[in-house]
Amino acid sequence: MGKINCIGILTSGGDAPGMNAAIRAVTRAGIAVGLKVKGIYRGYEGLINNEIQDFTTENVSNIIQRGGTILKTARSKEFLTPEGRKKAYDNMVEQGIDALIIIGGNGSLEGARIFAEEFDVPCIGLPGTIDNDLSGTDSTIGYDTTLNTIVQCVDKIRDTATSHERIFFIEVMGRDAGFLAQNSAIASGAEAAIIPEDSSNADQLEQFISRGIRKSKSSSMVIVSESPKCGAMYYADRVKKEYPEFDVRVSILGHLQRGGSPSAYDRILASRLGVGAITALREGQRNVMIGIKNDEVVYVPFCNAIKSDKPVKKELINVLGILSI
């Protein structure tokens, strides 16, 4: 393992169900091979402010079932500056931390990549984001739980939509990636999904309305990826203007998608990736994300995980189109 005797763990960016399971796995796997483990509170901001605590197995007891992150999370503007990163590095040295394990999404891993290059620090990333938008891994920690939360919400909304014969536009997270919208639409039997990878236009709106409301269906559900310009409100307003005969409603699910106890799949995924992070360090790996591909743990260089586009499969778009008739 070389000079690595102590590791630091932090969670950064948006919280995701299963982050606690990952913290637990990293901590216990590290201790099992003789490493000292330290928890860093509030992400990179906590590293800059030296909010660091020794972690034992007791610190991570009874957390696998909890949503959110016991280490808290924050977005750090100061870490975006060379001066902020220097403060973070100095605190690492003071605390005796030899390597960092970062649980987070695109921005968090990009921060780790820059930090590792500037100070030659071994960094291992775990994909913790509900958006499932990191390349090189089939799933990210929190995605499965969030998908199931959305489906449960859509099922409940459909009861009202059917009772009142309404069209509902339901906005979900995923500003730059449509995995949540596309797959929740399939799983909930929605009539359409409007995602960044397959932007809708007037003809598509006409298509799903004609196929649904005007034929045999008493309600229609459209799942929309959040967008500052073209979210659920935008499309609902268009339908109100272009098809005033329809009763249209909007439901923005918001932050309830992030919360809740992680699913069994997310707990297992987080546990496998957490152990994989320690294994990677022992093998001399550095500056890689631990992912899952075809049910095998894989190492993905940060630059590949962050910069490569992870497309929604066209097959999924076709499946929804076929099944929504």
Residue that the structure tokens 């909930």 belong to: 188
Please provide the DSSP assignment of 261-311 as one string.
Answer: PPPHHHHHHHHHHHHHHHHHHHTT--SEEEEEETTEEEEEEHHHHHHS--P
Alpha-carbon distance of 13 to 10, in angstroms, equals 10
Are the C-beta atoms of residues 63 and 70 closer than 8 Å to each other?
A: yes
Helix (H, G, I), strand (E, B) or coil at 54: strand
Per annotation, catalytic residue among 131, 133, 144, 266: 131
Residue at 264: amino acid letter: A
Q: Give the dihedral of Cα atoms 79, 81, 82, 85; nearest 10 deg.
A: -10
Alpha-carbon distance of 153 to 32, in angstroms, equals 41
Are the C-beta atoms of residues 127 and 140 closer than 8 Å to each other?
A: yes
Sort residue 314 into left (φ over 0), alpha (ψ -120 to 50) or beta.
Answer: alpha
Alpha-carbon distance of 131 to 173, in angstroms, equals 7
131 is annotated as an active-site residue: yes
Alpha-carbon distance of 67 to 145, in angstroms, equals 10
- Helix 106-119 and helix 82-95, axial crossing angle in degrees, nearest 10: 70
CA angle 223, 247, 207 (to 5 degrees): 55
Residue at 161: amino acid letter: A
Residue that the structure tokens 């995923």 belong to: 174
Alpha-carbon distance of 67 to 141, in angstroms, equals 11
- Residues with a known catalytic role: 131
